């Protein structure tokens, strides 16, 4: 899941870079047949997906940590007085 988050953020970075470098060319004027401009909606959709995956990942990590801290017995047991 961490690798998926890293890959999604890399995709967002690539889309932002492509959008910034292609913004100098006006849309659909002298565009080669293989060229497809990046729309702002593309960047926002991929960023929203990456944020959703990241929030689910962080929620999972924190909830598992809380569960672990509640269920794991302490390592140092409190000494109980012994009656003779």
Q: Does residue 65 surpass a pLDDT of 90?
A: yes
Please list the helix, strand and coil fractions of the chain in percent, rounded to the nearest 5, in that order.
Answer: 65, 0, 35
Give a yes or no: residue 78 inside a domain.
no
Q: Does residue 66 surpass a pLDDT of 70?
A: yes
Is residue 48 within 8 Å of 9, Cβ to Cβ?
no
Q: Count of domains in the chain?
A: 1
Scored b (16 or more CB within 10 A) or e, 4-33 reads ebeebbeebeebeeeeeeeeeeeeeeeeee
Give a yes or no: residue 50 inside a domain.
yes
Give a yes or no: residue 55 inside a domain.
yes
Q: Does residue 74 surpass a pLDDT of 70?
A: no
pTM score above 0.85: no
The pLDDT of residue 62: 96
Give a yes or no: residue 76 inside a domain.
no
Task: Give dist(CA 59, CA 45) in Å, integer.
Answer: 21
């Amino acid at each position: 899941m961490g690798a998926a988050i890293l890959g999604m953020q890399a995709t967002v970075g690539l889309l932002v870079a492509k959008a910034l470098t292609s913004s100098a060319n006006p849309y659909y004027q002298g565009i080669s047949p293989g060229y497809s401009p990046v729309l702002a909606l593309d960047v926002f959709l991929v960023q929203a997906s990456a944020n959703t995956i990241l929030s689910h990942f962080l929620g999972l990590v924190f909830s598992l940590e809380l569960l672990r801290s509640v269920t794991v017995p302490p390592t140092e047991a409190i000494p109980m007085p012994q009656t003779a």
